[in-house]
Chains A and B, each alone.
Chain A
Amino acid sequence: MGRSVIPIGPYHPLQEEPELFTLTVEGERIVEVDVRIGYNHRGIEKLSESKSFDNSTFVVERICGICSTSHPFAYVRAVEDIFPMEVPDRAKYIRTIIAEGERIHSHLLWLGLAGHFLGYNTVYMWAWKLREEILDVMEILSGNRNNYAMFTPGGVRRDIRPQDIPVVLAKIDSIVPTLEMLRDAILDDPVLHARLKGVGVLTKEKAIEFSALGPTSRASGVARDVRKDSPYGVYDRVDWKMIVTSNGDVFDKAVVRILEMFESIGIVRQCFEALPEGPINAGIESIPPGEGIGHIEAPRGETFHYVRSDGTNRAIRHKVRAPTFMNLPTYKATIVGETISDATIILASIDPCYCCTERMAVRNHRGRLLYDGEALVELSRAKTENLKRRMGRT
């Protein structure tokens, strides 16, 4: 049978981000998949190296709008890892509350989009309606719906006011019945069972082989969660359980995410109950030379940041690894052999985030590195100068 190539993207109405999938099909069956990204590359690592440690949190926040807590959280942990220091208890609790709030809204967002990808807009509308309530909570706590700007090396920027806590708890209580209804409706829905069960299966062996992270791996039975394995914030002080399922299909990935939202609500409640008094910032004066790593469990998996300092107020190297970078290759295992009609939901099942993943290296076809970091900077400076000259901006 002849092969044909179906491009999806880069600007496809279903995707809110630009990326190009090239599906090679034989009839209805997909035999090969290729992903091209780069439409979102903004040079975050380089930008971050040009800003002070304190200001960099704003840049890493804008790596991705949905992970706008995960990246700053991992970044400040990397900075705090450079030298021995202790973050105040209250700051740890506030950090955990914000991180879990983000997890709830991110999972609801995925759930809605998954419904949208299936053409099941009822799920989309319900999930996003619920998400608004969570965004209200985040707006009360941080002052903004998406970019919270709560994190700073050594603590948090903004305290939680005592009068806000009952309002927030009441709001969280009010969404739980609706969320339970949504959970039962989705888990019992015969349409969703027919569309999702047994589709895009990632086996446990493949998940380990591809080093899948987050809900993508937990749905395949790999019990791995940074919050349990290497606790940060106050995850070791609150009671919660890791959600692990064994089938690895899209349905299980949805189940993991839905059940995780309830765990997150539990964590947030416990954090508010145990919120101690005290300072919210350790007040870092200067950062000595050294290097540090920070990793946290983002809604999509482990986010990893590396920062090297030479004793000035800027990082001389900042490396970011987003969870989607590890989850993307699992397409090779999940999508091959499936039909074209299931492609969109399988592509969406890892909750991909391409603007997180946009890092860059230039290699030739044999895999040899053509340009290292410094050569790329020289190249880009020359090119920017050229462009500016051409546009008359001297």
Chain B
Amino acid sequence: MSLKLKALLKSPWVFHLSTGSCNNCDIETLDCLTPRFDVERFGILLAGSIKHADVLLVSGSCNRMSAEKLKTLYEQVPKPCLVVGIGTCTGSRGIFIDSYNCPVPLDKIIPVDAYIPGCPPKPEAIIAGVVKLIEKVGKG
């Protein structure tokens, strides 16, 4: 494993992006940082700028306006970086699959490493998903 990747897994800083979600996944993501779940125990911190981020937490079903912005933002993240899709919307677009403004799934826009399904996923599920991803990448 490269030194960069090793350092990333030790204390992954996350940046959270909503690409047209209903807010629920975003709120549950923020919930993970608050006292009951407290992901800072695992060294996970919400980064203030995308240029400090190791993990991108993407929620929502990518509409036309945000898809372009998402591409730009992905280009700005220092690589290597991990992308986690939170919520059913990122995986299958869920209830919005027939919408005229949600043309493509997330993985057609940027590469995705893990999906956490649920509408919205519980904070426990989000934590479990991120921890599983870290374990998997750590093993190579």
Give the B-binding residues of A (Cβ under 8 A): 10-11, 13, 16-18, 38-43, 46-47, 50, 58-59, 62-66, 68, 109, 112, 124-125, 128-129, 132, 145-147, 353, 355, 377, 380-381, 383-384, 387-388, 391
Give chain A nearest CB distance to B14 CB in angstroms: 11
Given contacts A39-B19, A109-B27, A124-B34, are A377 and B100 in contact (CB under 8 A)? yes
A17 and B26 contacting across the interface, CB-CB below 8 Å: yes
Residues of A within 8 Å of B128, CB to CB, are: none
The residue on B at minimum CB distance from A10 is B69
Inter-chain pairs besides A47-B99, A65-B120, A387-B104, 18 sampled, C-beta below 8 Å: A13-B15, A16-B30, A39-B19, A40-B18, A40-B21, A41-B63, A42-B20, A42-B102, A62-B119, A63-B22, A65-B26, A66-B23, A125-B35, A128-B30, A147-B120, A355-B20, A380-B100, A383-B100
Give chain B nearest CB distance to A349 CB in angstroms: 18
A68 and B73 contacting across the interface, CB-CB below 8 Å: no
Residues of A within 8 Å of B36, CB to CB, are: 129, 132
A47 and B96 contacting across the interface, CB-CB below 8 Å: yes
In the assembled complex, the Cα of A290 lies from the Cα of B101 at a distance in Å of 29
Give chain B nearest CB distance to A129 CB in angstroms: 4
Residues of A within 8 Å of B96, CB to CB, are: 42-43, 47, 62
Residues of B within 8 Å of A13, CB to CB, are: 15, 46-49
In the assembled complex, the Cα of A391 lies from the Cα of B103 at a distance in Å of 10
B23 and A64 contacting across the interface, CB-CB below 8 Å: yes
Per-residue 0/1 for B34-55: is the Cβ within 8 Å of any A Cβ (1 yes, 0 no)? Answer: 1110000000001111100000
The residue on B at minimum CB distance from A127 is B34
Residues of A within 8 Å of B99, CB to CB, are: 42-43, 46-47
Residues of B within 8 Å of A18, CB to CB, are: 17-20, 66, 69
Residue of A11, A58, A147 contacting most chain B CB atoms (<10 Å): A11
The residue on A at minimum CB distance from B101 is A43
In the assembled complex, the Cα of A388 lies from the Cα of B97 at a distance in Å of 13
B22 and A65 contacting across the interface, CB-CB below 8 Å: yes
A384 and B103 contacting across the interface, CB-CB below 8 Å: yes
B66 and A50 contacting across the interface, CB-CB below 8 Å: no
Give the contacts of B65-98 with A (CB-CB under 8 A): 65-66, 69, 73, 95-96, 98
Partner of A65, one of B17, B27, B108: B27
Residues of A within 8 Å of B20, CB to CB, are: 18, 39-42, 355
Given contacts A10-B69, A42-B20, A387-B103, are A146 and B28 in contact (CB under 8 A)? yes
In the assembled complex, the Cα of A315 lies from the Cα of B10 at a distance in Å of 52
In the assembled complex, the Cα of A125 lies from the Cα of B33 at a distance in Å of 9
Residues of A within 8 Å of B47, CB to CB, are: 13
Give the A-binding residues of B (Cβ under 8 A): 15-31, 34-36, 46-50, 60-61, 63, 65-66, 69, 73, 95-96, 98-104, 108, 119-120, 122
In the assembled complex, the Cα of A50 lies from the Cα of B27 at a distance in Å of 28
In the assembled complex, the Cα of A40 lies from the Cα of B16 at a distance in Å of 15
In the assembled complex, the Cα of A64 lies from the Cα of B35 at a distance in Å of 24
Residues of A within 8 Å of B35, CB to CB, are: 125, 128-129
In the assembled complex, the Cα of A226 lies from the Cα of B117 at a distance in Å of 37
Give chain A nearest CB distance to B70 CB in angstroms: 9
Residues of A within 8 Å of B66, CB to CB, are: 10, 18, 39-40
In the assembled complex, the Cα of A251 lies from the Cα of B17 at a distance in Å of 29
Give chain B nearest CB distance to A27 CB in angstroms: 25
A11 and B21 contacting across the interface, CB-CB below 8 Å: no
Residues of A within 8 Å of B15, CB to CB, are: 13
Give chain A nearest CB distance to B102 CB in angstroms: 6
Residues of A within 8 Å of B31, CB to CB, are: 128, 132
Give chain B nearest CB distance to A312 CB in angstroms: 18
Partner of A39, one of B28, B63, B102: B63
Partner of A42, one of B30, B63, B119: B63
The residue on A at minimum CB distance from B17 is A11
In the assembled complex, the Cα of A154 lies from the Cα of B71 at a distance in Å of 45
A129 and B34 contacting across the interface, CB-CB below 8 Å: yes
B69 and A16 contacting across the interface, CB-CB below 8 Å: no
A16 and B23 contacting across the interface, CB-CB below 8 Å: yes
Partner of A50, one of B17, B46, B98, B122: B98
Give chain A nearest CB distance to B56 CB in angstroms: 11
In the assembled complex, the Cα of A351 lies from the Cα of B21 at a distance in Å of 17
In the assembled complex, the Cα of A81 lies from the Cα of B23 at a distance in Å of 29
Residues of A within 8 Å of B46, CB to CB, are: 13
A11 and B69 contacting across the interface, CB-CB below 8 Å: yes
Give chain B nearest CB distance to A23 CB in angstroms: 19
Kindly list the 8 A-B residue pairs having the minimum CB-CB distance in the complex, ordered from nearest. A65-B24, A380-B100, A128-B34, A65-B23, A16-B26, A43-B99, A129-B35, A387-B103
Given contacts A11-B17, A13-B47, A387-B104, are A42 and B61 in contact (CB under 8 A)? yes
In the assembled complex, the Cα of A380 lies from the Cα of B100 at a distance in Å of 6
In the assembled complex, the Cα of A41 lies from the Cα of B20 at a distance in Å of 6
Give chain A nearest CB distance to B140 CB in angstroms: 32
